[in-house]
A and B are shown apart, each in its own frame.
Chain A
Amino acid sequence: MMSADSHNRISRRRFLIRSGWLAVGATVVASCSSFRSLLPALPTFDDPELEDSLTWVQVLPTGGIRFFCPRMEMGQGASLGLSQVVAEELNVDQSEIECVLPNTQQTPPFKMTVSSESIADFFDPVSYGAARLREALRTVAAKKAGIRPGQIRDGRGGFVLPDGSALRYGALVPSEPLVISDPAVSEAEKNPPRYALQRQGAYKAIGHKWKHTELEKIVTGQTVFSQDVALPAMLHGQVIRPPSFGAILLDADGRVAQAMSGVVAVVVDKKSNFVGVVADNPFVLPGAIEAISAKWHVADDIDQNSLDEILDVEDLRARDDFEHKLASSGDIDIGRQRARHRVSARYDTPFLAHAAMEPRAAVASVGGNRVEIWCGSQDPFFVQRRVAEIVGRAEDEVVVYSHRMGGAFGGRIRCQASEEAAILSAAVDRPVRVSWDREAEFQNNYFQPVYSHFIDAGVTPTGAISHWDHDFVSSPILTGSVPKSISWAVDMFTADEGTARGGMPPYRVADRRVRYSDVRTEVPVGAWRGLGAAPNSFAIESVMDELAASAGIDPLEFRLQNLSPTQERLAGVLRRVAKLSGWGRVMPQGAGRGLACAVYKGETAVAIVVEIEVDRATGEVRATKVWCAQDCGLVVNPNQVEAQIAGNIVWGCGMALKEQITIAAGSVEERNFDGYEILRHHETPEINVALVAPPDTPPVGAGEAAIAPVAAAIANAVFDATGHRARRLPICGARVIP
């Protein structure tokens, strides 16, 4: 039996100190990148380079533009926004661009689609690639016309010659492929003018409310999600997954199942902890699975209590045992003495699930010299590497065809269904489809880890923050998926930046210390919308509200007074949301308002005001209205950004009021949407959004910024309405009623 608390007997920090690794108090927050070369198949981390973009945009002989979008699509609309960037550079309309989700052979590997980077980090390279193509074509046109490139003006979908005649791109496509990375290209071509950067205020595509070309297919049911992929000769597979975290397969008897009509094979591989069945139709699978008796060695001593003991901030505080320091300046003990009002409080958030509406699915065809995978993943190149490793093939023998995902939210960096389908397909030598059911999604994916925070802070007689002493504990997120065999080494030397995301308050405090520990448990954890941003902001912004209340200062004023001077843009959205919501309005009985703000990844400033109602009888809290002001710099498509913000607010409400994964007997208790409730239509607040940005600011992340402050704003509104401080999520109605 694995003992849950064996993890805790000696912390990494204590080990490091004892073994002489650590001279000073804590490890510094170091990037995980230095360890990547030592690890087996890992997600694709590398940021895009300008030159990568040269393979992303093509001109077709028809004159149309084909854009191999280096971002996966899960509803965030990155492929639309980046198409607008391409259109801006190439002076074409939406109808002239065919945007393709590339398979793994069509482009060089690109970074996994995570972290709201698709516009923020790909705007520039996509603009570069398209601009380079345009200038290469201009050179072709010049040669053709026997004039200098500088004499050729831009036209719609091509160029205009000095005599006024139009030359469309299609007429310039050479019979031989035009290699624009040719070293012979001129310096001018290497540094093309960038309309996406230069046309501010006069954009023709950027900033416009283009609609996604996929909409019509979606509303008519024609979009092919990975759940919908069907190959002609495809078989159907299902897998029996471990009944508890870390369970080990001892034995499986598939003889009865094997004899059932329709069953093609029962695959038992103890070494890989794998039992699966393949059939020629999906209808026999449940019966066949039932007929297989699999015996497991289970680790059933892991439960919520044992996990909460490991992830207990107060326990770590009592032992003064935190591994990483995010900030340390001044002297918190001296600062503490300046406090007229003090707040010391603990804040907790639970394990959370992605609960994307599409359960994952994949079709794999493991053939003689080629392995093909059809699936939806945030990182198709990771899928390619994992599958190659699992079926023992070279990476370049594996092709992954990507499909639009029915929601991802960090939960589809791995596509386990593709790995399972590959194992089964290799065994039966035919294409096999595996799709997870809802229970498998809740039981077998990875989760947002538990967070446990303790903050001690205070307010000076003049309304300044006297000191900020913040400790928290959670689990490593970015390296959450590394295999057990090496996780110990990874943990020893890295501080997880994902766990720490949003852990620094945006306020001016001279005497402060922020420490954390990222402790691995048996529960698989990984990226969940915003990573640490939402749980960390919940603690920080709740305490800000407590401080303001204890000092009798309006929460908006208190924040504005204490923002650090570099946070002008955060001040901007705070003022804007205050105006939008009519901040300061007196609320009727049983209703309340709360405010919170955050800076996502140090870039996107967002402020939220929430209005709630409390059911006097049950204590049930409902968010009725939300106002949000966000500054994410240049907005490529306002329609999409507003949709993302609304989505984040709906998520944030669910996180604050409903969502929770609990662990018992070594596995997840929640199996479906009755146990794990997400926000429903009738619980959704009215949402008002304002987008603000100083002129000439580049785009920054918008896909998961607004979730950060939502839970705190709701908790602060609960305090406003009832005087009750909700310090544990989800907010429990019974506790709200005094």
Chain B
Amino acid sequence: MDININGRIVTVPEKFRDVTLLEFIRSSVGLKGTKYGCGAGLCGACTVHIDGAAVRSCQTVAADAVGRRVTTIEGLSKVAPEAGLHPVQTAWIEEAVPQCGYCQPGQIMTAVALLAHDPNPSDDTIRNEMSGNLCRCGTYPRIHRAIVRAARERGNHDVRR
């Protein structure tokens, strides 16, 4: 009944098996960076990674994550190629993406997963892959730019190596 959350082994108590992974992460583990927006798979605010894939944690129960590797926004720097912020987080700051910021952990988790399977996404790919993450402040144009920047910077990084 163990989940690896950001490198830490967390046991899911029997009575919490059926609570959503989102609730479990926030209320039981106490990691508040993953957000509740709709509880219905409609907004993407709760996006985390399970074994590297972007997943809506409000649509997953804790038991389903047992034996798997969960990464939340707090753990992102640990999977970054170098210490410190993940390059996508850096790009987000460079482009000054957040307004209120509430949707941004989910946006970033979706973007990181997108860039992991498509390091050089087209504009259309970005538009489609990001369409499940709502932002009421309307930061979409800057989100788009930050993803392009992160992809470009990773490209440069790879070339230098």
If A438-B37, A648-B138 touch, whether A219 touches B27 (CB-CB below 8 Å) is no
Minimal beta-carbon separation of A636 from chain B (angstroms): 15
Residues of B with C-beta under 8 A to A281: 27
Tell me whether A309 is interfacial, beta carbon within 8 Å.
no
Which of A174-182, A192-200, A404-412, A496-504 contacts its partner?
Answer: A404-412
- Asked if B116 CB lies within 8 Å of chain A CBs, one says no
1/0 per position for B111-138, CB-CB distance to A under 8 A? 0000000000000001110111111111
Q: How far is the CB of A650 from chain B (nearest CB, A)?
A: 3
Q: B interface vs A, CB < 8 Å?
A: 15-16, 19, 23, 27, 30-40, 42-43, 45, 72-74, 76-77, 85, 89, 92-93, 96-105, 108, 126-128, 130-144
Dominant secondary structure at the B interface: loop
Residues of A close to B34: CB separation below 8 A:
221
Contact B138 A647 (CB under 8 A): yes
A219 adjacent to B89 (CB under 8 Å): yes
20 contacting pairs across A/B (C-beta < 8 A): A76-B99, A212-B98, A215-B92, A215-B96, A216-B85, A218-B101, A219-B105, A225-B35, A227-B36, A230-B30, A357-B35, A358-B102, A405-B100, A406-B35, A406-B101, A407-B99, A408-B100, A437-B39, A639-B96, A684-B141
B132 proximity list for chain A (CB < 8 A): 680
Which stretch, A15-23, A100-108, A593-601, A671-679, touches the partner chain B? Answer: A671-679
A717 within 8 A of B: no
**List of A residues within 8 angstroms of B101 by Cβ:** 75, 214, 218, 223, 404, 406
Given contacts A409-B136, A650-B140, contact A215 B32 (CB under 8 A): no
Interface centre among A74, A214, A216, A220 (most CB of B within 10 A): A220
B38 lies within 8 A of A407 (CB): no
Q: A629-669 toward B: CB 8 Å interface, digit per residue (1/0)?
A: 00000000001000100111111000000000000000000
Q: B100 touching A672 by the CB < 8 A rule? A: no
Q: Across the interface, which residues of A come within 8 angstroms of B97, CB to CB?
A: 219
Contact of B100 among A219, A282, A406, A648 (CB under 8 A): A406
Q: A220 — which chain B residues lie within 8 A by C-beta?
A: 33, 73-74, 76-77, 85, 89
CB distance from A226 to the nearest CB of B (A): 10
Contact with B along A422-465 (1 / 0, CB 8 A): 00000000000001011000000000000000000000000000
| A358 proximity list for chain B (CB < 8 A) | 35, 37, 100, 102
Q: Write out the residue numbers on chain A whose beta carbons fall within 8 Å of the beta carbon of B23.
A: 282-283
Measured between beta carbons, the chain B residues less than 8 angstroms from A215 are 92-93, 96, 98
7 nearest interchain CB pairs? A221-B33, A650-B138, A406-B102, A75-B100, A75-B99, A221-B73, A218-B101
Structural contact, A222 and B99, CB atoms closer than 8 A: no
- Residue of A with least CB distance to B90: A219
- Find chain A residues with CB under 8 A from B102 CB: 225, 356-358, 406-407
Do A357 and B92 contact each other (CB < 8 Å), given the known contacts A77-B99, A282-B23? Answer: no
Report the minimal beta-carbon distance from A221 to chain B, rounded to whole angstroms: 2
- Rounded to whole angstroms, the CA-CA distance of A359 and B45 in the bound complex is 12
Among residues of A, the one whose C-beta sits closest to the C-beta of B131 is A682
In the complex, what's the smallest C-beta–C-beta distance from A9 to chain B, in angstroms?
39
Interface string of A108-131 (1 = CB under 8 A from B): 000000000000000000000000
Name which residue of chain A comes closest to B34, CB basis.
A221
Known: A407-B136, A672-B42. A219 touches B93 (CB 8 A): yes
Residues of chain B within 8 A of A684, CB atoms compared: 138, 140-141, 144
The smallest beta-carbon distance between B49 and chain A, in angstroms, is: 13
Chain A residues lying within 8 Å of B36, measured Cβ to Cβ, are 227, 359, 435, 437
In the bound complex, residues from chain B placing their C-beta under 8 Å from that of A359 are 36-37
Chain B residues near A404 (CB, 8 Å)? 100-101
A656 to chain B, nearest CB (A): 14
CB distance from A356 to the nearest CB of B (A): 6
Verify A674–B40 contact, CB threshold 8 A. yes
Q: Which residues of A contact B33 (CB under 8 A)?
A: 220-222
* Chain B residues in 8 Å Cβ range of A214: 98, 101
List of A residues within 8 angstroms of B99 by Cβ: 75-77, 407, 643, 647
Q: Which residues of A contact B143 (CB under 8 A)?
A: 681
Check if A74 sits within 8 Å of B93, measured CB to CB.
no
Answer whether residue A687 sits at the interface, using C-beta atoms and an 8 A cutoff.
Answer: yes
User: Are B127 and A224 neighbours in the complex by a CB distance under 8 Å?
Assistant: no
Give the Cβ gap from B59 to chain A, nearest Cβ, in Å.
Answer: 13
| From B45, B126, B138, residue with most partner A Cβ within 10 Å | B138
Say yes or no: A357 contacts B89, CB within 8 Å.
Answer: no
